[in-house]
Amino acid sequence: MYLCFTHTMKHAFIITAYKNAQQLNDLVSQLDDADAFFYIHIDKRSDLLQSPALDALKTKKNVFFHREPVKVYWGGFSHLKSFVMLLEEVLRNRQIDYVHTISAQCFPTMSFKKFDEFFVANNGNEYISWMELPSKSWTGGGLDRIQYYHLNDVMDPKKMLYQRFHSRFINLQKKLRIRRRLNTYFPKFYGGGTWWSLSRPALDYVFEQMRQKPGLFGRFKHTHCAEEIFFQTILMNSAFKDKIVSDDLRYIDWSTRNGNCPANLDETDFEKIIASNKLFARKFELPLSAKLAERLREKIDSEE
């Protein structure tokens, strides 16, 4: 008699959330497995953690809520800080093979079994989108995000006062020829997407760099969308660059649709999501995205 052993990996999902407890519950439920661990950061400005709808989630042994949440502002260093705080917790778990960043507005496109099979087949690859800066893909080339001081964590970028003041603040720095040094730690800077799937060795290396270069993490304070530059820059200036696939494996429609950019997805996106072969889709906004989530759930159930 022959015994067949299926090789599996241990996956950690870093989830940032600030609203809609049911959406967070649904996301965890779809990915829940003996080989899955969830590390969740709830924006300190949100009352989501007090929601009774999360009571069951709090009792699960493979779900961890960060004990000291921070206030997260769009484009602020605070978003990167929330990732790093959760990663410190993740890397204490020596079982973890791959780590995936998602938000509560993401949804998987396949069963956990198929998800795991993908990483078993592609073990050693790092999935994070990247481009060398400056790049025509970003307004201003992208280096301006780290050359000048940005106030995303000082003033709420969603408020009109920020929008009126911040462009003048940047122009004043240019007029006064104030430029922050770029090459203190790396010869080149890289940027890309917020969301990624990286291996333990790659993330161990990121933390090793932070230990060896004590000022590195702090250098990204007052940077616009620091989380879109930090990981790309460290890894693309390392031996891991040859293992990086410039694909974040997330389906995102960057048009302005359904009241948002990137677009809030709806049922009409189903076929495009499936054809993309991505592992996650975002953004999901309830109730608009409810039927799309239902169709994806039916597809996932048929694979299990």
Position 6 confidence tier, pLDDT thresholds 50, 70, 90: low
| pLDDT of 7 higher than 70 | no
- Mean pLDDT in residue range 277-292: 96
CATH of 11-123+249-303, one of 1.10.260, 3.90.550, 1.10.1420, 2.30.30: 3.90.550
Percent of the chain past pLDDT 70, that is, above it, reads 97
CA 166/CA 219 separation, integer angstroms: 20
In terms of pLDDT, which residue wins out, 40 or 4? Answer: 40
Task: Measure the CA–CA gap between 149 and 173, rounded to whole angstroms.
Answer: 8
The full 3-state SS of the chain, as one line of letters, equals: CCCCCCCCCCEEEEEEECCCHHHHHHHHHHHCCCCEEEEEEECCCCCHHHCHHHHHHHCCCCEEECCCCCCCCCCCHHHHHHHHHHHHHHCCCCCCCEEEEEECCEEECCCHHHHHHHHHHCCCCEECCCEECCCCCCHHHCCHHHHCCCCCCCCCCCCHHHHHHHHHHHHHHHHCCCCCCCCCCCCCCEECCCCCEEEHHHHHHHHHHHHHCCCHHHHCCCCCCHHHCHHHHHHHCCHHHHHEECCCCEECCCCCECCECCCCCCHHHHHHHHHHCCCEEECCCCCCCHHHHHHHHHHHHHHC
pLDDT digits (tens, 9 = 90+) for 224-264: 999 999 999 999 999 999 999 999 999 999 999 999 999 99
Tens digit of pLDDT for each residue in 90-119?
A: 999 999 999 999 999 999 999 999 999 999
Mean residue pLDDT of the chain comes to 93
The residue that leads in pLDDT, 158 or 23, is 23
- Which tokens in the block code for residue 200? 């333990």
